[in-house]
Amino acid sequence: MPDSQYDLVIIGSGPAGSTTARFAAQQGLKVLLVDKRQELGAPIQCSGAVSRHALEEVGITPDAEFIHEPIYGFGIYNEKGDSTVIDYRRLKADEYGPEEGKKPLGYVVDRRRFDRYLMTQAERAGVEVWLKTEGLSYKPGSNGSCEVFLRRFNQEITVNARVLVGADGLQSQVGKWAGLRTHIKITELASCLQFIVDQVETEGLLEIITGHEWAPGGYAWVFPKGYGYAEIGLGVIPTMTDRNAQWHLDRFIHHSFFKERFKNSRILEIQGGGVPLASPLRTQYADNLILVGDAARHVNPITGGGIHTALSGGYIAGNFLAGFLNQGKAPTAQNLEGYQNCWLEELGNKMWKLYEVKTEIFRKNDLAERDIQLYQTMASYFSPDSEYKKI
């Protein structure tokens, strides 16, 4: 069956997988992208905030198909409600704004539509996409390629790939197939819950509320969601509280300094997930295999944001693999280390630095001191002159 021979088989069509696929296919690779879902992005496990330059960097034009609402800046709060507002409509008034000729800083996207859009772009670049197809396992062979075992609409299918890309998100199993050390510590996985609500006003800002009082180990957020809706959510580190995220979110809504603002809120959707506030994986490659996106823990450990890093990681992976395979190199673990080195240089080293900043804050035993540091770090992270603007 010559048709079952691919250069790349990619497990998972989130932002990381579809971006890897698109760039690889554009450079002539034969790519199969599979996802076990029937509707990409659903059920939603994400708030959808992403910067405009993160999209443009990987050739995605902001499109009404997936945008809930444009964003112009940030409001960072401490536990008492004091805030630092970083509104680019004021800071750089000639560049940012809703008016003709000006632009937004970023967007809140609908992950269902966004992931579908990214997949469509990959498909148009020549990628073959199979939905309702689950990756089950893989087996490296002696001829330089590997067998990938899939189940598609109940049918077991085996395909051959030169490289298998694990872009299967936070719940990644692909790394485990290869025996990579993918385990996340409970002290570094935030348990998150969010409500899409009606009757809560927002002003085009991503609002982030720090403080152990409201979200131990993480933070709470209020994001604009379009159509006059908002999203209220938070993430907590389980070892820092005896209560669950649901309890903390209820308390935040009904007892925080925002209780008046939230008083008439009505819940329209309920979503959640885990966010790794962890370091990237130390080893993101094996024989015939690499990991990208959440699967490799390519997540910003300060903000928990992972869309930008998934897109950039996909860009790096797709380009690397195209260059690599087009040169006819053997996809051994040793050779594929080049991918990780590329990634570290362009992105990863900065993420390691952020991880150290984050670890330093949570190493403090004094909660008040920790609160102050987290608030200051968040405020400076989003300021126009932050050294970390790129991720």
Partner 1 sequence: MSNKEPVIFTIGWNACINCGACVAICPQEAGFISAFDTIAVDRPCDIACLLCEDICPVSTISHSPANLTSFAR
Ligand X SMILES: Cc1cc2nc3c(=O)[nH]c(=O)nc-3n(C[C@H](O)[C@H](O)[C@H](O)COP(=O)(O)OP(=O)(O)OC[C@H]3O[C@@H](n4cnc5c(N)ncnc54)[C@H](O)[C@@H]3O)c2cc1C
Binding part of the chain for partner 1, among 185-193, 346-354, 367-375, 377-385 by CB under 8 A, reads 185-193
Q: Which of 230, 187, 137 is nearest to 355 (CA)?
A: 187
Which partner, partner 1, ligand X, none, binds residue 51 by CB below 5 to 8 Å per kind? none
Q: Residue 81 CB, nearest distance to ligand X (Å)?
A: 22
SS3 per-residue string spanning 297-319: CCCCCCCCCCHHHHHHHHHHHHH
**Contact between 164 and ligand X per CB under 6 A:** no
- Out of 24, 122, 165, 193, the only residue in the binding site for partner 1 (CB under 8 A) is 193
Nearest distance from C-beta of residue 386 to ligand X, angstroms = 16
Stretch 170-199 residues interacting with ligand X (CB under 6 A): 170, 173, 192, 194
By CB under 6 A, residue 305 contacts ligand X: yes
Name the one range near partner 1 by CB under 8 A: 268-276, 309-317, 345-353, 361-369: 268-276
Residue 320: CB minimum distance to partner 1, A: 25
| Residue 274 engages partner 1 in binding (rule: CB under 8 A) | yes
Shortest reach from residue 290's CB to ligand X, in Å: 13
Residue nearest to ligand X (CB): 306
**What values do phi and psi take at 140, rounded to 5?**
-65, 140
DSSP H helices, the chain, are 15-26, 52-57, 88-91, 111-124, 174-177, 245-255, 307-326, 333-343, 349-363, 367-381
The piece of 92-100, 116-124, 181-189, 196-204 that touches partner 1 (CB under 8 A) is 181-189
Residue of 126, 144, 226, 272 interacting with partner 1 (CB under 8 A): 272
Among 167, 237, 290, 322, binds ligand X (CB under 6 A): 167
Distance CA 119, CA 114 (A): 9
- Identify any residues that bridge with 69 across adjacent strands, giving them in sequence order: 108
Nearer to ligand X, 273 or 301 (CB): 273
Tokens of 146: 């590997």
Q: Which of 25, 307, 316, 336 binds ligand X (CB under 6 A)?
A: 307
**DSSP characters for 40-97?**
TT-S-----EEEHHHHHHTT----TTTEEEEE-EEEEE-TTS-EEEEEHHHHTTTTBS
Other Cβ atoms within 10 Å of 386 Cβ, number:
12
Closer by beta carbon to ligand X, 69 or else 294: 294
Distances, alpha carbon 23 to alpha carbons 63, 288, 318, in Å: 20, 19, 5
Minimum CB separation from ligand X for residue 155, in Å? 14
Answer yes or no: are the C-beta atoms of 291 and 317 closer than 8 Å.
Answer: no
Q: Does 335 bind partner 1 (CB under 8 A)?
A: no
CB neighbours of 138 closer than 8 A, spacing ≥ 6? 146, 147, 148, 149, 164, 174, 177, 178, 288, 289
Contacts of 215 (CB under 8 A, 6+ apart): 209, 234, 235, 236, 248, 252
If the CB atoms of residues 189 and 391 are measured against partner 1, the closer one turns out to be 189
| CB contact at 8 A, 139 and 160 | no
CB of 309 to ligand X, least distance (A): 7
Alpha-carbon gap, residue 98 to 334, rounded angstroms: 49
Q: Which is nearer to ligand X, 37 or 92 (CB)?
A: 37
Q: Does 43 engage in binding with partner 1 (CB under 8 A)? A: yes
Q: Which residues bind ligand X (CB under 6 A)?
A: 11-17, 34-37, 40, 45-50, 134-135, 167-170, 173, 192, 194, 272-275, 293-295, 299, 304-308, 310
Q: Which residues bind partner 1 (CB under 8 A)?
A: 43, 45, 136-137, 169-171, 173, 176-177, 183-184, 186, 189, 191-193, 238-239, 244-246, 270-274, 276
